[in-house]
Amino acid sequence: MKTITALLLLSLSLFAVDGQKVYEENCKACHLGMVSKADFMAQIKTIKAPPMVEVSNRLKNTLTVADDDEEVQRFVVISFIKEYLKRPSWNYYLCDDAAFNRFGVMPAQTHLSDAELQAVAEWVFDEFEDKEFK
């Protein structure tokens, strides 16, 4: 039994997709991760998207659920991120209007697999818990 559990865990870790790696390879060129407002503004001329810390907090503050169930809210935010990555749109973006007007709509990330989308969406949610863009 123990061997089976160990094997199962090993195979899970072999196949698990690393969300941070997906971010570094596919998102970082446009989205800085954790950055202060001052550092962000200092680089604004060459920046192509809002920083991930801001994106993460904004989605959490905007997509709330009625009974404050944290697991449901995490599911809702991660699902939104996954869908937005496949179909970014002027019709339902949630970043602020100033950022949207400055940067335009994000290109669809359709080259990513479902597992990569899931992993990076979870990373965007979890990485910036209790971190603020200030």
Single out the residue of 50, 82, 122, 133 in contact with ligand HEC (rule: CB under 6 A): 50
Q: Is 44 one of the binding residues for ligand HEC (CB under 6 A)? A: no
Give the shortest CB-71-to-ligand HEC separation in angstroms.
20
For residues 124 and 55, is the Cβ–Cβ distance under 8 A? Answer: yes
* Cα end-to-end span (Å), the chain: 50
Give dist(CA 86, CA 56) in Å, integer: 17
Residue 49 lies near ligand HEC (rule: CB under 6 A): yes
Q: Which residues contact 108 (CB under 8 A, 6 or more apart)?
A: 85, 86, 87, 88
Nearer to ligand HEC, 2 or 90 (CB): 90
Q: Which residues would be at the binding site for ligand HEC (CB under 6 A)?
A: 26-27, 29-31, 48-50, 55, 81, 84-85, 88, 93-95, 99-100, 103-107, 109, 120, 124
